[in-house]
Structure formats: C-alpha cells, structure tokens
Amino acid sequence: MSDRILVVRMSAMGDVIQSTPVARGLKAARPGCHLAWFINRPFAPLLEHNPHIDQIIAMPLRPTVSDVVEAWWHLKHGEFDVAIDLQGLAKSAVPTLASGAPRRIGKAEAREAALLAYTELSPERWDQQYISQRYLEVCEPLGVSRDDFVPELFLVDEDFGLIDRVCAAQGVAPDEPLVVLVTFALTPKREWPPEFVIQLADELTHSHGARIVIPGAASERPRAEAISAQMARPPIILAGDTSIREAAAVLQRADLVIGVESGLTHMAYAVRTPTICILTYPPLRNGPVGPNARTVYVPDLPCRPCRPDAPCEHYRCVRELTPDLVLSAIADLARETPVFPD
C-alpha cells in the first residue's frame, strides 16, 4: 500500500511558497504516495494545479464550528501514515496530531508547545543556501533530498487575463522591459527607503526604457501612489488589484523583479522570473540564489540576523544598501540570464 502523507503549512504567503519544493521532493522520494496539504484558505490558490499535490484541505482563517468539523473529517478519514508539520506552531500542531498519523515529524525549533504533537524531530541547522532547504530537511527521514530547493507555482492561461488587459490599456510595447518593484513588506524593517526606490526606478526608466509596475495589497496603494508621484515616469500601480494567482502572473510576465524580502519576491523566484532580492536584516538564507536570482545585502554585519522588533542604533543594513549596489547586481545577473529584451 502506498504512503498517505499529510503536509501542514498553513501560512503565510512567502512561507507557503518556500515550502512547495517539499511536495516535489516527497513525490520523488515516495513515488505513488498520496499527498495532502493542510493550509489556510486564503493561501490555497498557491497550491492549485500543482501536479505533486493530490488533495488540498483548506481551513478559513476564522473558522466556524462547521469548518472545524469538516476539516476534522478530512483529517480522520485521510488514514495518513505520516504527518509533517513545516510550521511548528500550536495552530499547525493541532491538525498534525488530529490526523491520527502514527508518524508525526516536526522541527526541533517548534514553538508554543507544538513539540508535544511530534514523534520525530528534525534538528535545527543554519547551513542552508535558501530557506526552502529547512523545510526539505524536515522530510529527510522520508528520503527527501534538500538539494532540489527552488520553489514553484503552476499558472494557467486564465491567470494572465489581468496583466494582459493592463499591458494593452497602458500601451506597453513588446520591446519595453517590464520591471516589477516590490517595495512593501509586512515588517517595516524589511523595506527599502522610498528615495532609493524612486532613484532606482528613474535609472531603469532612463537607461533601459523600462515600464515600472508596483504591486501590493490594497492597504499599500496610498503609499504606492505617494512614491509614484515622485517618479520621472508614472509607474503602473497594481496594489490591491490582483488576486494571489494574478499577482503571480504579473511577476511571471515581467522581465525583471526587484523586491524587498517578501512573499511577492519569493513568488517571482518561484515563477522563474529573473529576480533581485533586497535583503536588510534577515538571515542570508532568506535570499533567493541561482542563475536567475541575486540577493543584495550589506556584508559583514555582526548583528545579522536580528529580530524585526529589535531596537537599532545604525540601520546599516538599510542605509548602506544603495541603488548602486542593486544596479551592480542587475548587471551581474544580466551576464548569466537575459534580463532586458534585445
């Protein structure tokens, strides 16, 4: 009988994206297994059309009693042999334990008493090239390798409808480079100063004739408009206009994505668009790597990584991460991967 495996990673967008190599790795290590994924409903579209996932169990962020009963039913009737908690919190430990799987694997660094739900622990390590490898390490007891770590999303034609309409309405020519600037993050210390964003956008517009696109959430639109007003050429603002899958299509259609370390930047990496990640205080493993990605950061900072709420007297990780460093990274990337249309 084939293994029946439950993966639990409920949120958030960037973390779910970084976890997607797990599905590919499990299917490679355990051919024929049934793979189910327990996730919060707003992030379930990230897993749609993934050929490695057989079942998505989606739970609303604020579930009703009937939602809980339905999720419990799917877990109990899943007859899972193994449950893997990639999140390591109480909210993810509950479905892991409720699955009834006799083998339950979690991270040694799990918090909020989640450790009580596991029968096996994956030791904490810090030698990863990219954060996806930490999730793959949790699956190593099942024969999964951490070497195949690039995340992936699977888009379909209907996901591109919005960006196609926007490009047509904005008169974006086929030979105009489309550059997406991901300027916002949930944690303010991850963000780049607006004056740096404006300087970079103006340089790309002047030197390459780039059309700039600013995505984001609806709550970030006023900030996007404030930045836009100071740019030499008004960008295309899509903050609040896209679903998760439409945002992924925008990023895939782009020639280049430059962004702070956030879910959208990891999404660009997952759809294989040339990506520059602007990394401030997080650990270096948070930055995408490979032929189509570069991570820009201030080297030799003894305080890296620090906590997002930690006080700082210098903010060197932000102040010294200048547009010139990003432009140098773009030039380096272009030597290995086509970035701008000929």
Claim to verify: residue 109 and residue 209 sit in the same structural domain: no
Number of domains in the chain: 2
- 315-341 pLDDT, tens digit each: 999 999 999 999 999 999 999 999 988
- Residue 307: pLDDT band (50, 70, 90) is confident
Claim to verify: residue 167 and residue 298 sit in the same structural domain: yes
Domain membership of residue 37 as a residue range? 4-142
Query: How many H-runs (helices) and E-runs (strands) does the chain carry?
Result: 12, 12
For the cut 90, the answer to whether the pLDDT of residue 342 exceeds it is no
Domain for residue 342, yes or no? no
Claim to verify: residue 185 and residue 135 sit in the same structural domain: no
pTM (two decimals): 0.97
Claim to verify: residue 12 and residue 80 sit in the same structural domain: yes
The CATH number of the domain holding residue 177 is 3.40.50.2000
Q: In the 8-state DSSP scheme, what is residue 146?
A: S
Residue 86 near residue 7, CB atoms below 8 Å: yes
Rounded percentage of the chain residues whose pLDDT exceeds 90: 96
- 175-185 pLDDT, tens digit each: 999 999 999 99
- 19-56 pLDDT, tens digit each: 999 999 999 999 999 999 999 999 999 999 999 999 99
Backbone angles phi, psi at 335, to 5 degrees: -75, -20
For the cut 90, the answer to whether the pLDDT of residue 169 exceeds it is yes
Domain for residue 153, yes or no? no
- Residue 241: pLDDT band (50, 70, 90) is very high
Claim to verify: residue 102 and residue 166 sit in the same structural domain: no
- pLDDT recorded at residue 308: 85
Mean residue pLDDT across the chain? 97
Edge-to-edge strands, sheet with 256-260: 236-237, 211-214, 178-182, 256-260, 275-278, 293-296
Edge-to-edge strands, sheet with 34-40: 55-59, 34-40, 4-8, 82-85, 103-107, 120-122
Claim to verify: residue 200 and residue 110 sit in the same structural domain: no
In whole angstroms, give the CA distance from residue 149 to residue 133.
Answer: 6
Claim to verify: residue 181 and residue 317 sit in the same structural domain: yes
Domain for residue 10, yes or no? yes
Claim to verify: residue 136 and residue 177 sit in the same structural domain: no
Claim to verify: residue 305 and residue 214 sit in the same structural domain: yes
- 100-155 pLDDT, tens digit each: 999 999 999 999 999 999 999 999 999 999 999 999 999 999 999 999 999 999 99
Claim to verify: residue 133 and residue 263 sit in the same structural domain: no
Domain for residue 117, yes or no? yes
In whole angstroms, give the CA distance from residue 213 to residue 172.
Answer: 11
Claim to verify: residue 104 and residue 169 sit in the same structural domain: no
